[in-house]
Each structure stands twice: as C-alpha cells, then as structure tokens.
Amino acid sequence: MKKRILALLLTAAMALSVAGCGSSDAPAKDANAQPTTQATEEKTEEKKEENTEAAAPAGGEEKDTFTIAISYMPDTLAPHSGGSDDYTSMTRPLYDKLFIENTTGGLDYYLADSLEISEDGKTYKIHIRDDANWSDGTPITTADIKFCADYSVHKYGYNRYIRVNGVEGSMNIIDDKTIEFVLPEAYNYEVVTLSGMNVFPAHVFNGDPAAIEAATEYYSTPGFVTSGAYVVSEINDDSFVCTARDDYYRGTPQVKKVVMKVIGSGSTKSIAFENGEIDYMRITTVDELEKYKAQSDKYNIASFPEARLNYLQVNPYGPANLTDEQREALFYAINGDEVIAGAYGTEELATNPNSLLTPEISLYNPETPDYVYDLEKAKELGCGALCFEGNIDFYGKSGFRQASEFGIRYHGLPEGEDASFVLCEELMPGYLNGITGEYAPPAGYLVNEKEAEAFDREFLYMEKKKLPGQIF
C-alpha cells in the first residue's frame, strides 16, 4: 500500500518539525535533488535515534509528479524574498546554497565542494564545484559570489560576509572557482552567515546588484534561471510547476515534476490530502498528529528539529531600569511547560528552551542554566507583579490576566479601545490592590520607520522579510 507524506510544522519555543519519510510516492532517494525529502530522508533516522516516532517508508509504484500543499501563491519566487516555511518549501527545488550546516556539526555541500578555515579563524576559503551550473548552462563561478556580496553592500551599505563588530575585512577572488573571505577577527558565526548566502546569477543582471530589487517580474515568469534541481515551467493563479533539470550537477531527479498547489487550511487541506490530491502537507496541531499516527498504515510521519524560537525579551534600555534580580524574577514567573501544553498540546511539537540558541545552531551550549518555573523564587527576587504585551491565549496558561482587570490602562489608547494585549500577573496576591495606572512601552521599544535602517545596523545582521499580507 502506498503512503502519502505528512509534515508536522512546529512554531514553538524550540520547534520540532515533521517531514515526510520517503516512499516511492516521495521524490527520488537522492535527497540532494529534492525539495522536501532532503530533510525527510536524512533526518528521519536521526529522530528515530531520539525515539521520535517515524513511520517506515512504504513500497509502491513510482510517481513522476509530487504535489505539495502550500498556503498562498507568492508574488515572486526570488531566492531572497521570503522567510516562511511555505516559502522555503516552494523555493528549495529551485536554489542551492553553497553548503548547509547539519545537525552533527558538519557541512552538507551543494554549490561548493570544500570550505577551508584558517587556524586563526579569520580566513574562509570556498571552492565552487567545477560542474556547478545555472539552468541556462552558464557555469556558477566566484563572479556570482562576488555579485551577492555586492548586493549586500547595495542593500545594507556594507559587505555582511566580511563584517565583524562593525569592521570589514576583505574578499579575495583567487580564480573562477575559489574565493576567500578574510575577517578582521575570528567570528564563530561566519559558517552560518556563509551558508545563508542566496547566490544570484551575475550574468542575468549584467553585474548590477541594483537590478535585483526590480526583478519581481523576472522571478514571476516561467523559465527564470535557477541553481537547484528544478526550473519553474508553469505558473498559475493557485499553483506553479517545477520541472526537473536534466543537466543538474548532482544528477537528474527521479521525480520529474513538483507541483506547488494552494490548498485551504484545516479540513479542506486534510480532505485533499486524504483523497490523494496532494502528496505532502504540514500539520500543526496535536489532534492532527494523533489522527495520522493512528493511521500509520496509510501515512508516513517523520520529525526533524527546526531552529525556531519564540521568546520574551526584556528591554535593557527602558525607563524601568530593571535590576538583574528583577529580570530573573520575570523569567522565573513564566511557566514554559504550561505555555507549551496550552499552545501546542504536546512536547512532540515543542520543547522548553534554555537559551536564545536552539540545538541546531553550532554555538548552542546544552549546559546553559535554565529558568525553572518558581513563583516563590520570583517573589524572593523582589517581583510583586508582572506587566507586558502578549497574547492572553498563550500567556494565560501561566496565570496572566488582562491588565484591565487590575485597573491598568494602555498609555495613549482611547477609552473603550481594545487593550486585551496588555497582560498582568500578581506574584504576591493583593500586590496591586488600590494601585491604578498606565502601561507604556519602554523607550526604544518602538522605532520611527524612517530611522529603522540606522537602528538595525546597531545589531548583528538579520535580513528583514516582508511576507504576503504583512502590513508593516
């Protein structure tokens, strides 16, 4: 019996993700030539070792077409235009990275075939595969890598690939296939930075990085140049088709077509999946997980970790001028386990983090002390009540209530306007008795949009994304 593929998407504190394990219904066993099964087939065994349930691949007839459910049609399929999970699924067949850091601390190579790091940790030499080529037959060279660096200068005002603590190093092209990134000082995050590079075809844009910004129409028309295993051969109102490249440098994919099809959420998607209209979908709730786990004879479910984090951040520059003890008290007062239980229903979908880094990031330290929920400890540290902005459905599981119940108003919000996002919790019962007032966001919490770029440059680089439907 053939099995279709489920992907369980987790957006929790430390997210896990479930992707389909391969059957003959899935893309080819050459994971490097597939959009979804790379993570599927490589990481299924990893999760088995971690005792995470994963159905075994099922036998069956081969398929030339593999259909993936997506939630929206993008305005463009440019490699740098989206950061959602859907967008990653859409573009994974089209673009290859230089390399990708795997969960064992090593690298999976794609466009590059080697990375050499000097003993002092400052020089990173990358060699591009000799057989790597764009879908129009043009070789992928260091000119394309330099073009990407030039684009970062155009967009951000600096070369983000050689910049450390505000100081730039140098970038040296050795030959058509070899390039060096020389940093001003050792930077442990450089491998991650380089692995995130979106490689653009310099020849398509005539070496002009400014042309990338105006390429929306180009990346919305079938046949645009790609570096991955597929090209876009068809774009419709609610779907697009990726066709396998016969000249792909890692070998022609077994699956000849990958169809990205917009399917409604909830029951609509489930019905389409169960009827065989789609071969792969993501699931996000414990009810869906349990439902399909109970039908393991029909469906493959596999999980793999995903470096996703939800967190509460304290503004150290706010007018409250919190002490270290008060900041600690805040985190002792939040019951992370209850938040996960209320928001996700099971630790199979999320786990409680111990830092801002997840285990999938090379700099993660598993020995980092965690804040265990302890109201008595929070009280000892001098915290009588907590107030911040958040989702009551999320933080209500830890005892937070709407601040209006305590007579607290939101600064500047007219009477009668919705202020349900302002939350409060008394750690010491009665602490707020007889106290009323206003809650205002700390200074520096909100930034003038005209000053956003200058403000962003004060922090480590993080590419800003604007997703479909996003207002600001």
CATH superfamily of 99-209: Dipeptide-binding Protein; Domain 1 (3.90.76.10)
**Chain mean pLDDT for the chain:** 77
pLDDT level of residue 142 (50, 70, 90 thresholds): very high
* Of the ranges 133-142, 295-304, 320-329, 381-390, the best mean pLDDT one: 133-142
Fold for 4-92+233-304, please state it: D-Maltodextrin-Binding Protein; domain 2 (3.40.190)
Structure tokens at 203: 């020849």
CA nearest neighbour of 152 among 119, 112, 198:
198
Q: 């800003």: which residue's tokens?
A: 464
Domain extents for the chain? 4-92+233-304, 99-209, 324-334+371-456
What pLDDT, in 10s, does the model give residues 55-87? 223 334 457 899 998 888 988 999 887 667 678
Tell me the C-alpha distance between 20 and 299, whole Å. Answer: 9
Beta bridge partners of 112: 128
Q: Which is higher by pLDDT, 442 or 236?
A: 236
Beta bridge partners of 133: 139
Tell me the C-alpha distance between 435 and 257, whole Å. Answer: 65
pLDDT level of residue 41 (50, 70, 90 thresholds): very low
Is residue 164 within 8 A of residue 181, CB to CB? The reply is no
Please give the model's pTM, rounded to 2 decimal places: 0.64
CA nearest neighbour of 349 among 13, 1, 37:
13
Q: Which of 80-84, 290-294, 316-320 has the lowest mean pLDDT?
A: 316-320
| Separation in Å, CA 437 to CA 390, 400, 405, 406, 407 | 19, 18, 12, 9, 7
Q: Which is higher by pLDDT, 86 or 123?
A: 123
Report whether pLDDT(100) > 60.
Answer: yes
Burial of 294 (0-12, 13-18, 19+ CB in 10 A): exposed
3-state secondary structure of 329: helix
Residue 6, CB-side half-sphere exposure with 13 Å CA sphere:
29
